[in-house]
Amino acid sequence: MRARVFPVLGASTPLQSLIARRWRPQWICHNCQQRQPQYRRLATSTPTPAEQAKPYYVTTPIFYVNAAPHVGHMYTMILTDVLKRWQQLKGRPAILLTGTDEHGIKIQRAAAKANVEPEEFCDKGAEVFRELAARIDISNDVFMRTTGKKHKQAVEYAWQMLEQGGYIYESKHEGWYSVSDETFYPQGQVQLIVDPPTGRKIMVSVETGKEVEWTSERNYHFRLSAFQERLLEFYERNPTFIVPESRMNEIVRQVRDGLEDLSVSRPVERLTWGVRVPTDPSQTMYVWLDALLNYASAVGYPFTPGSESAGGWPADVHVVGKDIIRFHCIYWPAFLMALDLPLPKQVLTTAHWTLGKQKMSKSVGNVVNPFFALERFGTDVMRWYLIHDGGITDDADYDNLHIVDKYKKGLQGGVGNLASRILKGKGWNLRHAVENFAQPDFVPTADAPRSLSFKDTDEIGPPTYDSLASLPAEAERLMTDLLPNKALQRIMDSVYTANAYVQHAAPWTLVKLRMAEQANPTPDTARIAELDESAHHIVFLTAETLRITGIMLQPFMPGKAKELLDMLGVAEERRGWEWCQVGRDAGYGTPMVELGKRGEGGLFPMLSSQW
């Protein structure tokens, strides 16, 4: 390897001066510029000028193509899609990125094992993930592949900027390297174990349990240690940068314990499949430096100075699994600081889906094929279930029987049953109820907090109304806190509350009493009117629960939410956030689709008898 000389820290280049340097590139490679991604929108309200200035930008991790996707990958994709669609529901343009990580020793070895060229291997693997994204109806605007030409050019450009900034130097590196994790581990993060299947003693990562091997080589290093204080200051100024808080505390602890400079290249004899170091073709860039830059290259990096936000940068949320937080919450911010780029606003770190309380892993053989799950239960059911039960802080255990139970309670017995009761019930007219009780211009006050009045003897109606009226603000708070599972659970609570309300209030009983009174030789017209009004009052509040929760369920299960809103007759242009207010819409109540008869399948039909 030929010797190379780069700026180094010394008496003439004080550490703080180097770190504080705010260098911005003037040259922009036109080939690196990417067309602004297009984004689809739901029916929404008008976004604010501040929101119009920058689209909401959310990303999945980009997935390794060396193994087929499992349900954990599907969960992460759906989670990001829910976050994006929620913003669109509120009227903000949004961009979602997903894709595949296709470089590195792991991919190189997997391709060799499959006896195919790496490019062909990656093409097949990427297509499977692209197919999964389409199958689960995620609205991704970009599908990023790190083998793409524009990404490669952006990575080469970033490397040269890091070199010119004095953040990269050449040195000998020795340490424990994990091919599976594509990273070096310090001595304190590895341990000797006995491998159960083979009985041989091996060194593994304490954090991931993956085997490590001792390597000694000359390569390039990134001055990660120089960013310790800047990172700690950033975390202190941005206490919600990492969600949940427990993982924020973990990252802060790791950085406080000290950072070692990071090896960011491998000799080409060892790693051929990757982006070559542009100033030294005998070295291949470290896969994580390459891969992390996809979040920027996907939306136009290298940016024209001052125009970063036009394509969505910086990311509003990176969604990643808890096993890769060090890369996204330490390495990535440091790289961006060195490149003088704005940092992402938040990183949502999820827990794992387990099977039999054990993390899903191809090597263990306990993965759930997402395509099989979708075949069994359907796209919207899997979207709803994975978000509802998926773990942010704690792992969640996957079980088909558990999905069946949740389906019967939440979807079939909850949303479906409520819709069937109101839309297919006899003796009332939903359109009549809406016309009589909707108050589009109602503004709550201390003296009149509800748009509906309730009898003093009604103990369940007022709390049902209050629960529904407070739902949008509570769900929005939970979504802002990056807790989509809690937000969905809160939405479902309103459905369960409405089911209990309609069961208790029993409008069908009032209809029977009205019909009996009408059949009297001398009917009491005042009594008939009172019974009719009471029945339609109950029907209206229940229908409002369906309408408002239907609007809010659009990000979670877009297909079924649309079907529900069509059944209610809610106009397309009235399915945005501003319509999530009790009594706001006086125009619905006439179904846009054939409802069928009571007991005929409905919104959520019976599952196959095999379940």
Q: Give tens-digit pLDDT for 79-105.
A: 999 999 999 999 999 999 999 999 999
> In this predicted model, which residue has the larger pLDDT, 437 or 50?
437
Percent of the chain beyond pLDDT 90? 76
Please name the residues in contact with 77: beta carbons below 8 A apart, sequence gap of 6 or more: 60, 98, 132, 133, 136, 138, 140
Backbone torsions φ then ψ of 172, nearest 5 degrees? -75, 140
Burial code (b: 16+ CB inside 10 Å, e: under 16) for 349-369 equals bbbbbbbeeebbbeeeeebbe
For residue 388, which of 362, 415, 426 has the smallest C-alpha distance? 415
**Which pLDDT belongs to residue 210?**
78
Residues of the chain with CATH 3.40.50.620: 54-381
**Which pLDDT belongs to residue 597?**
65
Give the C-alpha separation, 221 to 262, whole Å: 5
**Which pLDDT belongs to residue 51?**
47
Task: With cut-offs at 50, 70 and 90, classify the pLDDT of residue 202.
Answer: confident
> In this predicted model, which residue has the larger pLDDT, 13 or 280?
280
Give the C-alpha separation, 43 to 485, whole Å: 23
Q: Which CATH superfamily is domain 54-381 in?
A: HUPs (3.40.50.620)
**Which pLDDT belongs to residue 214?**
79
Q: Give tens-digit pLDDT for 170-195.
A: 998 777 877 777 677 777 777 888 77
Radius of gyration of the CA atoms of the chain, in A: 28
Tell me the β-bridge partners of 267: 283
Task: With cut-offs at 50, 70 and 90, classify the pLDDT of residue 43.
Answer: very low
Residue 159 has pLDDT above 90, yes or no: yes
Residue 508 has pLDDT above 80, yes or no: yes
DSSP letter assigned to residue 416? I
**Which pLDDT belongs to residue 360?**
76
Report the 10 Å Cβ neighbour count for 389.
20
Task: With cut-offs at 50, 70 and 90, classify the pLDDT of residue 399.
Answer: very high
The residue written with tokens 């008869």 in the block is 597
- Write out 332-398 in H/E/C secondary structure: HHHHHHHCCCCCCCEEEEECCEEECCEECCCCCCCCCCHHHHHHHHCHHHHHHHHHHHCCCCCCEEC
> In this predicted model, which residue has the larger pLDDT, 442 or 611?
442
Query: Which range has the worst mean pLDDT, 48-52, 96-100, 241-245, 512-516?
Result: 48-52
Residue 245 has pLDDT above 90, yes or no: yes
Residue 40 has pLDDT above 90, yes or no: no
Residue 115 has pLDDT above 70, yes or no: yes
Please name the residues in contact with 505: beta carbons below 8 A apart, sequence gap of 6 or more: 460, 461, 538
**Which pLDDT belongs to residue 11?**
33
Task: With cut-offs at 50, 70 and 90, classify the pLDDT of residue 42.
Answer: very low
Query: Which range has the worst mean pLDDT, 163-167, 308-312, 485-489, 509-513?
Result: 308-312
Q: Can you state the percent helix, strand and coil of the chain, rounding each to 5? A: 45, 15, 40
Give the C-alpha separation, 214 to 227, whole Å: 27
Q: What is the mean pLDDT of residues 568-591?
A: 97
Give the sheet arrangement for strand 213-222, strand by strand. Answer: 183-185, 168-178, 213-222, 262-263
For residue 422, which of 343, 487, 523, 503 has the smallest C-alpha distance? 503
**Which pLDDT belongs to residue 49?**
54
Percent of the chain beyond pLDDT 70? 89
Task: With cut-offs at 50, 70 and 90, classify the pLDDT of residue 19.
Answer: very low
Q: Give tens-digit pLDDT for 468-478.
A: 999 999 999 99
Which ranges constitute the DSSP H helices of 481-524?
484-505, 507-518
Q: How far is CA 607 from CA 371, 380, 450, 550, in A?
A: 17, 14, 39, 22
Please name the residues in contact with 190: beta carbons below 8 A apart, sequence gap of 6 or more: 176, 203, 204, 205, 206, 212
**Which pLDDT belongs to residue 9?**
39
Burial code (b: 16+ CB inside 10 Å, e: under 16) for 254-289 equals bbeeebebbbbbbebeebebbbbbbebeebbbbbbb
Contact yes or no for 490/471 (Cβ under 8 A): yes
Tokens of 200: 């041989």
**Which pLDDT belongs to residue 16?**
35
Torsion of CA 430, 431, 432, 433, to 10 degrees: 50
Asked if the 399-579 domain carries CATH number 1.10.3720.10, the reply is: no
**Which pLDDT belongs to residue 306?**
82
**Which pLDDT belongs to residue 305?**
84
Query: Which range has the worst mean pLDDT, 184-193, 541-550, 594-603?
Result: 594-603
Give the C-alpha separation, 45 to 88, whole Å: 9
Contact yes or no for 501/542 (Cβ under 8 A): yes
Contact yes or no for 392/485 (Cβ under 8 A): yes
Residue 33 has pLDDT above 90, yes or no: no
Residues of the chain with CATH 1.10.730.10: 399-579
Task: With cut-offs at 50, 70 and 90, classify the pLDDT of residue 607.
Answer: confident
